[in-house]
Amino acid sequence: MTELTPPERFVIETPENIRFGYDVADIGSRFLALAIDTLIQGIIYIVLFFSLVILVNTLTDIDLPRPVNDALAIGVVVVLFIIQFGYFMFFEIILNGQTPGKRVFGLRVIKDNGYPLAPLDSVIRNLIRIIDFLPFAYGVGLVTMFLNARAKRLGDFAANSIVVKMRRQVRLQDLQPGSAAPAASAPLGMTQLNTQDIALLESFFQREKTLTNRDALALQLAQRLAVKMGVPANAAPRNAAEANAFLRAALDAARRTRV
């Protein structure tokens, strides 16, 4: 189940009552990110233009057959299409929902259910960009974004995606305490966890880079699993560092049992 409270917040609640919270990217930051991406595309176009000038000058004295000339013209059109729309697909796929412009402003595209954007999703949302761009300068897309609380354009609706703001994340190694805490060791009571619990652990570490409330969520999840595993209250995780160590140890233990 998902909810949006207030409009600039996007909250996902799993069947286990775990809440994932995100800040919805505003229209201004999205267009600033687009401006940077457009600038990069412009540089690519300039390089392509001078490359074509050199190629044309080279082929001027060569009498090429008409089919070859037609193929070259079609090739240029295909390359222009790839630069215009493939640029966004390429970077969103390799950068996990980000383009260089989005990365500068801390934005990321994710699925409506909180999962990372899949390659097919990126292809869909960026092909629909052709319609969003109409009649010019993203007119359709801009109007659509103003008409819904999550600032989604048509491509986002088609791909079930949303653009969110990413907060600066603390790395797990930075959270490790100086001395070993009881909860950092391999947890006992692993047999009390079912496949759904293990899947939730896997999902947490899969999504951790996109979570704006990662530490609070880690502590909530760790304490809930500790109770289910029968961990004594004085040994249960009490802070984010212990929670992260506990969850990592639990996941590692679960993976070892499957080997």
Q: What is the mean pLDDT of each run of 10 residues along the chain (259 residues)?
A: 52 59 86 95 93 81 77 88 92 94 93 87 94 89 91 94 74 39 50 79 77 79 85 83 86 69
Alpha-helical runs (H) found in the chain? 27-59, 66-81, 87-94, 100-104, 119-127, 129-133, 139-146, 154-159, 172-175, 195-207, 214-229, 240-258
Q: In what order do the strands lie in the sheet with 2-3?
A: 2-3, 9-13, 19-24, 161-165, 107-111
How far apart are the C-alpha atoms of 211 and 214, rounded to whole Å?
5
Q: What is the pLDDT of residue 7?
A: 53
Q: What is the pLDDT of residue 215?
A: 81
Neighbouring C-beta atoms of residue 18, cutoff 10 Å: 15
Degrees, nearest 5: CA angle 246-249-253: 140
Residue listed under structure tokens 């990110």: 33
Going 124 to 129 to 132 to 134, the CA torsion angle's sign is negative
Q: What is the pLDDT of residue 173?
A: 39
Tell me how far CA of residue 27 lies from CA of 30, 31, 109, 112, 217, in angstroms. 5, 6, 14, 18, 28
Q: What backbone phi and psi angles, to 5 degrees, belong to 3?
A: -145, 165
* Contact between 212 and 167 (Cβ < 8 Å): yes
Six-digit token string for 121: 């999703």
Six-digit token string for 1: 């189940």
How far apart are the C-alpha atoms of 242 and 184, rounded to whole Å?
6
Residue listed under structure tokens 């949302």: 125
Q: What is the pLDDT of residue 183?
A: 40
Q: What is the mean pLDDT of the chain?
A: 80
Q: What is the pLDDT of residue 154?
A: 95
